[in-house]
Structure 1
Amino acid sequence: MISQHTIQQITNRIDIIDVVGEFVKLKKRGTNYIGLCPFHNEKGPSFTVSPSKEIYKCFGCGKSGNTITFLMEHEKYSYVEALRWLAARYHIEVEETETSAEQKQFLQTADSLYVINNFAQKFFTEQLLHTDNGKAIALSYLRERGFRDTVIDKFQLGYNPDTKDTLTKALLANQFNAELLPKTGLVSVRNNNELVDNYRGRIIFPIHNISGKIIGFGARIIGKNDHAPKYINTPENELYVKSKILYGSYFARMAIDKADECLLVEGYTDVISLHQAGIENVVASGGTSLTTDQLRLIKKYTNNLTIIYDGDNAGVKAALRGLDMALEEGLDVRLVLIPDNEDPDSYVNKVGAKAFNEFVAAAKKDFIIFQLEVMLREAGGDVTKKSNVVNQVAETLSRINRVEDFTKQQDYIRQCAGILRIDENGLTTLVNKYKRERLAKEEKQLPFETNRQQAFESTGQQPEHVPDEAQLLFLQDEAHERNVLRVLLEYGLRSWDETRAVAEYIFEELEQFHIETPQLEKLYETYKSQYYQGLEPNPKTLLYHDDETIRQLVTGITLPPYELSQKWDEVMEGMNILNRDTAHQDVLMSVNYFKLRKIKKMFEENQRDMETAGFDDFKRLLEVHKHLKAIETELTKKIGTVILK
C-alpha cells in the first residue's frame, strides 16, 4: 500500500488544471476554466474546472470529482494507479507501507515479469521489422492479411524466430532470472532442464492491461501445422489472469466511453482489423466464455455490449455463453452474427468500414429474444422441449434482479410471453419463483438484515409511489440542507464573531434540527467530527476523503453551474458586486431559511395532529402551535420576507 505520507505529498502538489488540461482543451472563464466534456458528446462546453476548489463538474452529464477521480474515470485507472501516475508526473518518490513477506514476494515477482515482458516485446518487434527472416516470413504474412504498418506499430506486433533459443539466449544475456522465465510462458523447460523458446515461428500479439503495461502474449503459428495449436497464450501468473483480461481494452477504453458501446469479438485479428478500419470501441474475449470479471471490466466504460461473432452454429453457441452473467451485471446486450461464414476480420476487409458499421447497426438483435428464438427452433413441435424453453427463459429473466431494471424485466416478460404464446401472468409467476429459489440459497449465508434488504431488492417491486407534492417537499428539504452544507464547507473555518468560528455558529443553530437526507447528514457529521478533532476540514481535504459518497457530495455542493461575469464590477461601478464579502449574510440567510423550512414542516405536522386530537391533547398541541408560530414569525423578520400561507 502507498503510505499516507506519500498520498499527502501527492495531494499537496496536484494542479487540477495541469492534469485535466492533458486531456481536455480548457479556456479560462472568470475564476474557472471550461471545455468540452470528455465523458459525453457535446457541442457547447458544459465541463467546468475550478482551480481554487480543485474540482471538476460537467453540468451536462453530471460527472464530477477531483484530480484523482478524473484520472480514474477518464483513464480507467484504479485509485492506486492514479496515485502512481501523479507521483511520476510530480517526481514524488512512492513510499510503501509495511507489507507481509508473501505480499512483497508477489509484488517483486510481478515487477520482474513486467520487465521481462517489456524486453520480450521489443525483441519480437525487432525480429519482425529489422531481420531478413522476420520481414520475409512474418511481416509479409501480416501485410498479406491486410495489416498496415501503422496498426502493426500500434499493437506492437512481433515475431519469434523459428529457432531453438534465440529469445532465451537474449534474455539470459541480459541477466534475467532463469527461474522466472518459464513463468512468463516465453520459455519452456525440456526434460534435461534445457531452456528453449516457446513461441518459435509465430506471430506475437502483446496483451496489455488497462494502463498499457504488457502482461502476456498470444502467439499465432504462421501457415498450417496439424501438429501444433494455432494459438498459444501466456500461462496464468502474477500478471496474467485470463478471466480478467479483454484483448485490446487498453486501446479501446476511450472509444468505448465516447461511443457508450463496447463491441465484443473473439480474436486478436478481429480487434486489429476493426481498429485499422477506424472502429476502435472493440475488444476480444480470446475465444473463451465470458466471465464476470470481463463483464465488469466492460461495465466500467459502458452498459451497452454488442457481441459480434461468426454466424455458424459454433459462433451462436459461443455468443450465448455468459448471457445470464451479463444480465446480472446490468448490461444491455445485443448480438450481431456475421454472414456467409465470415468473421469480423474478413468481413470488414471485404465490405469496408462504412458498410460494416451499417450492417452492425441494422443486424443488432436483442440477446434474450434471439436466445428464445434459437431455442424454439431447436424445440420444434416437441411439447416437452417447449416446456423446457419456458423454464429456461424464466430462469434467465429472473437474473434481471436490480430494482432499477424492473421495467425492463416486465417488458421482456411481455415480449417473451407473446413469442411463446403463453399467459403473461403465468410467466411472471414463474420468473418470481426462480428469484425466490436463488434468494433462498443466498439467504443461508447472509445475516438477517442483509437478507431482508436483498429480499426487497430481488422482488423487483417498486416502492409505493410518492405523490408529486410530497416529492416536491422532499426536494425543497434537500435543497435547504445542501445550502447549509455549502456555507459550512465554504465559510466554516472563518470567524463568525470574537468567540466563535462560522462552523460553531452553524452547529449551535442546528442543534435542535435534523438533516434528514442520509448522505447529507453523513457529510455534516463527518465535517463536525473532523472540526472538533482539530483537523480543520475544508472542501479540499474532504475531496480526498476515502468515502466516495462524501467526495461526490463535496464536488456537487461547492461548484455552482453558473459564475458571475467579472464585468459586473466594471458596469456597476462602486457596487463591488464580485469583490464584496457577503459570507456573513450568506451564512445567516442559509441557516435561517433552513430553520424556517423545518419549522414549517413541524407546523404542518402539528396541524394534522390537532385535527384528530382529543380535548386534552388539543390544548397541548395548541400551545405547540403558538410556539412554532412565534419562531416562524421571528425567523421571517430576520430574513425580511413574508411567508404566505
Structure 2
Amino acid sequence: MISQNTIQDILSRIDVLDVVGEFVKLKKRGANYLGLCPFHNEKTPSFTVSPSKEIYKCFGCGKSGNTISFIMEHEKYSYVEALKWLANRYGIEVEETFASDEQREQYQTADSLFIINNFAEQFFTKALTESEEGRLIGLSYFKERGFREGIIEKFRLGYAPNDRDAFTREALSKQYNKELLLKSGLVAERNGALADNYRGRVIFPIHNHSGKVLGFGARILKTTDKAPKYINTPENEIYVKSKILYGSYFARTAIEKADECLLVEGYTDVVSLHQAGIENVVASGGTSLTVDQLRLIKKYTNNLTIIYDGDAAGVKAALRGLDLALEESLNVKLVLIPDKEDPDSFVNKIGAGAFTEFIKKNKKDFILFQLESSLASIGDDPVKKSELVNKIAESISRINKAEDFTKQQDYIKESAAILAIDEAGLHALVNKYIRDRVASLERKAQSNTEKEKNSAAAETSGFDDATFDLLFKDQLQEKELARILLEYGNRPWDEQTLVAQHVFDEIDELEIDDTDVNQLITSVKKLLHNNPGLLNDKYFIYNDDKKLSAFAVSLLNHPYEESDRWASDFSDNTGYQRDLFSQSFEAFSKVISKGNENDLNKYKLISEDRTNQKVESAIQYLKLKKIKRMLLQNQEDMASALNDSKFRELHFIHKSLKDMEREITNILGTVIIQ
C-alpha cells in the first residue's frame, strides 16, 4: 500500500486544473473553467472545473469527482495506479507500506520485472531498425505483412538477434539480476549457461492498460516442426495470461468512443486493423476468454463483437468463453471471416471501409449462432437434439443479472422457435439451472420493491401537494446543512467556536433522515474531537471512503453563487424570502428565457463572506422543516384522540410547536402563510 505520508504529499501538490487540462482543453468562465466533456460526445461545452473546490462536474452526462477520480475514470486506473500516476507527474517518490515481508518482496520483484521488460523492449526495437540483421530479417517480415513504419513504431515491434546470447550479455553488463532475467522469460539456462530465449524471432511487446510492458510474444520466422510458432512470457508476478488482452493500451480510448470492443485472436490481426484505422480492437492471444479479460473489456463498453476465422477451428474458438461473457452482462455478437481468411488478411484484401461494413452486416447474436450452427450438424438425432436443448438452456441461464431478465426471456422465446419445442418447457429447463441464483435474487428484489412501494404509499397517502413538499423535501435542507459543514465548518463562528461546532450545538436534538448526511456529520464530529486541523472540504473530497468522497463532491457541485442584488430584486412583496438556492435558480431561468443580456449582466455573481448568515439560515430552515413535520404528525394525533384529556395534551403541544415556529420565522425574517 502507498503510505499515508506519500498520499498527503500527493494531495498537497495536485492541481485539478493542471491534471484535467492535460486531457481537456479548458477556457476560463468566471471563477471556473469550461470544456468539452471527455466522457461523452458533445458539441456544446458542459464540463466544468472548479479550481477553488478542486472538483469537476459535467452537466451533460452527470459525471463528477476530484483529481484522483478523474484519472481513475479517464485512464481506467485503480486508486493506487492513479496515485502513482500523479506521484510520477509531480516528481514525488512513492513510499510503500507492506503487511508482510513476503508482500514487500512480491512488490519489489514486480517493479524489477517492469524495469527489465522496459529495457528489453528498447533493446528489441533498436535491434529491429539499427542492426543489419534486424532490417534484413525482422523489418522485411513486418513489411511483407504490410506493416508501415508508423504502426511498427506505435506498437514498438522489435527483433531478437539470432546470436545465442546477445540480449543476455547486454542485460548482464547493465547489472540486471540473473534470477529476475530468468523469471522474465527473456533468458533461459541451457547446458549450464544463460542464453537468449527469443533469438531469431520478431517481438510483440505486450502492454498493460497504463502502457507498461508486461511481457512479450515472440514469433518464429523459420519453418520448423520442432520449434513453436510463438513463445510467450511465462507467468510471473506481472504477466498473468488470463488477465491480459493484447492491444488494450492502444485501443482503450477508441473502444470507449465506439462503445464496442472488437475481439480477435492474434497479434497481427490487432496491428493490421489499427493500421487500417479500426482501433477499437484487442486480441485474446488465442486462448479461451477468461472472467478477468471480460471485466477488462467491460471497463470500457458492454458491447463485445468477436471476430474469428470462419473455419471449424475458428468457430470452436469463438464459442469458448460464451457463458462467461453472458454472466458478465456483455452484449455479445459474433462475426466469422470467410474461410481461409483471418482479420489481418481480410482487411488488407478488401480495405478498411469494406471491412467495417462487413462487420456491421454480418454480426450474429452469439447464442442464436451457437444454436443454428449446432442444429445444422445434428440432423434428426433426438439424443443430440436433447443435448443441444440442455446446452442452450444452460447458456441462457448464465444471463444471471437481474437487469438482464428481459434479455433472458427473449432468448428463451427465440431459441424455442428455432428448436421447434415448447417455450414453456424451455423456460422450465432454464429455471432448473438458475433456480439457486437468478430466481432467488429476483424474488428478493421483487419483495424489496413491493415493500418500498407499500411503505411509500402509506407515508404519502392523505397529504396534499404543499404538505408533501414540506415533508419529503427535508432531504434538500439536510444536504444544504451538510454543504455548509463542508464549505464553512472550519471557519470561526466566534472567538471560541468553529462553525461546525456551532451547527452541532444547534441541531444536536434534531433527527437527520438522510444516511449520507448522517455519515458526513459523524465524520466531521470525529475530526472536531480528534484532529480539527484536518477539517476542510478537501479532506472529504479526497477521502479514502469513496462513497463519502462522491457525496462531498456532489454537495459542492453548485455552478452559481448568489449576489445581494439578486436576493433583493427577487424577494416576494410580502417579505417572504424563499430558499436562497431555489430563488436564485428561478430568477436566473427568467433572465435566460427572456434573453436580455443587459438584465443578465447586472446580476454579477459575487463571493462575499456572508458565512454566518448562510450558516444561521441553513440551521433555522432545517429546524423549521422539522417543526412543520412535528406539527403535521401532532395534527393527525389530535384528529384521532380518544378522549378530551389526550386532546388537551396534544393541543398544548401544538401551541408550543407554533410558538417555536414563530420564533424561528422571526429570526429568518419570513412570513409563514397559514
TM-score by length of 2: 0.85
Matching residue's letter, 2:515 = P
Cα 1:458–1:38 change in 2 (3 A) is farther
Matching residue's letter, 1:74 = H
Matching residue's letter, 1:502 = V
What is the distance in 1 between the residues matched to 2:414 and 2:506?
57
Deviations 1:187-244 (A, max 9, x none): 2222x21222221221100111122111110011115322221111010111211111
What is the distance in 2 between the residues matched to 1:379 and 1:508?
78
Contact 2:562–2:605 (Cα < 8 Å) also in 1: no
Match of 1:115 in 2: 115
- 2:555 aligned to 554, 557, 570, which one? 557
Match of 1:444 in 2: none
Residues 1:248 and 2:247 are matched in the alignment? yes
Contact 1:403–1:458 (Cα < 8 Å) also in 2: no
Aligned residues: 630
Deviation at 1:171, TM superposition (A): 2.3
Deviation at 1:351, TM superposition (A): 1.8
Residues 1:587 and 2:615 are matched in the alignment? yes
Correspondence 1:241-640 to 2 at 5 A: 241-420=240-419, 426-438=425-437, 455-456=440-441, 461=446, 463-464=449-450, 466=453, 476-497=473-494, 499-535=496-532, 536-562=534-560, 578-607=606-635, 614-615=642-643, 624-636=653-665, 638-639=667-668
Q: Which moved more, 1:60-69 or 1:522-531?
A: 522-531
Deviation at 1:426, TM superposition (A): 5.0
Cα 1:17–1:397 change in 2 (3 A) is same
What is the distance in 1 between the residues matched to 2:176 and 2:513?
61
What is the distance in 1 between the residues matched to 2:412 and 2:293?
27
Correspondence 1:127-276 to 2 at 5 A: 127-190=127-190, 192-276=191-275
Match of 2:57 in 1: 57
Cα 1:530–1:433 change in 2 (3 A) is farther
Cα 1:356–1:308 change in 2 (3 A) is same
Match of 1:451 in 2: none
What is the distance in 2 between the residues matched to 1:314 and 1:262?
22
What is the distance in 2 between the residues matched to 1:289 and 1:34?
45
Deviation at 1:337, TM superposition (A): 2.0
What is the distance in 1 between the residues matched to 2:667 and 2:37?
42
Correspondence 1:67-86 to 2 at 5 A: 67-86=67-86
Match of 2:91 in 1: 91
Indicate the SS of the match to 1:180.
helix
Q: Which moved more, 1:401-410 or 1:209-218?
A: 401-410
Deviation at 1:366, TM superposition (A): 2.7
Match of 2:585 in 1: none
Deviation at 1:97, TM superposition (A): 2.8
Q: Which moved more, 1:383-392 or 1:84-93?
A: 383-392
Deviation at 1:21, TM superposition (A): 0.9
Deviations 1:131-181 (A, max 9, x none): 222212221111111100000001111111233222222223333222332
Deviation at 1:573, TM superposition (A): 10
What is the distance in 1 between the residues matched to 2:538 and 2:73?
19
Give the superposed CA RMSD: 3.2
Deviation at 1:72, TM superposition (A): 1.5
Deviation at 1:430, TM superposition (A): 4.0
What is the distance in 2 between the residues matched to 1:580 and 1:263?
54
Matching residue's letter, 1:279 = I
TM-score by length of 1: 0.88
What is the distance in 1 between the residues matched to 2:472 and 2:344?
52
Deviations 1:462-495 (A, max 9, x none): 7127389879879734333322211221122223
Match of 1:46 in 2: 46
Contact 1:401–1:459 (Cα < 8 Å) also in 2: no
Matching residue's letter, 1:466 = K
Contact 1:55–1:555 (Cα < 8 Å) also in 2: yes
What is the distance in 2 between the residues matched to 1:186 and 1:236?
12
Matching residue's letter, 1:286 = G
Contact 2:561–2:605 (Cα < 8 Å) also in 1: no
Matching residue's letter, 2:306 = I
What is the distance in 2 between the residues matched to 1:484 and 1:244?
45
Contact 2:540–2:548 (Cα < 8 Å) also in 1: yes
Deviations 1:236-264 (A, max 9, x none): 11121111111111111222222222221
Cα 1:357–1:568 change in 2 (3 A) is farther
Indicate the SS of the match to 2:473.
helix
Matching residue's letter, 2:196 = D
Deviations 1:303-341 (A, max 9, x none): 222222222232222222222222322322222222233
What is the distance in 2 between the residues matched to 1:634 and 1:378?
85
Matching residue's letter, 1:245 = I
Matching residue's letter, 1:336 = V
What is the distance in 2 between the residues matched to 1:354 and 1:572?
50
Cα 1:98–1:385 change in 2 (3 A) is closer
Contact 1:37–1:45 (Cα < 8 Å) also in 2: yes
What is the distance in 1 between the residues matched to 2:665 and 2:409?
50
Indicate the SS of the match to 2:83.
helix
Indicate the SS of the match to 2:360.
helix
Cα 1:35–1:541 change in 2 (3 A) is same
Matching residue's letter, 1:108 = Q
Note the residue ranges of structure 1 that are not aligned, 5 or more in a row: 440-453
Contact 2:489–2:499 (Cα < 8 Å) also in 1: yes
Matching residue's letter, 1:590 = A
Indicate the SS of the match to 1:466.
helix
Deviation at 1:109, TM superposition (A): 2.2
Q: Which moved more, 1:380-389 or 1:259-268?
A: 380-389
Matching residue's letter, 1:354 = G
Deviations 1:501-556 (A, max 9, x none): 32223223332333323233222322222223233422111111111111111111
Contact 2:204–2:267 (Cα < 8 Å) also in 1: yes
Indicate the SS of the match to 2:179.
coil
What is the distance in 1 between the residues matched to 2:664 and 2:103?
61
Indicate the SS of the match to 2:217.
strand
Structure ID, larger Rg: 2
Matching residue's letter, 2:453 = V
Contact 2:560–2:605 (Cα < 8 Å) also in 1: no
What is the distance in 2 between the residues matched to 1:134 and 1:269?
18
Q: Highest relative contact order (Cα 8 Å, sep 6+), 1 or 2?
A: 1
Match of 1:443 in 2: none
Matching residue's letter, 2:371 = L
What is the distance in 2 between the residues matched to 1:144 and 1:276?
14
Deviations 1:373-430 (A, max 9, x none): 3344445444444444443333333333333334443444444444445555554544
Indicate the SS of the match to 2:512.
coil
Match of 1:448 in 2: none
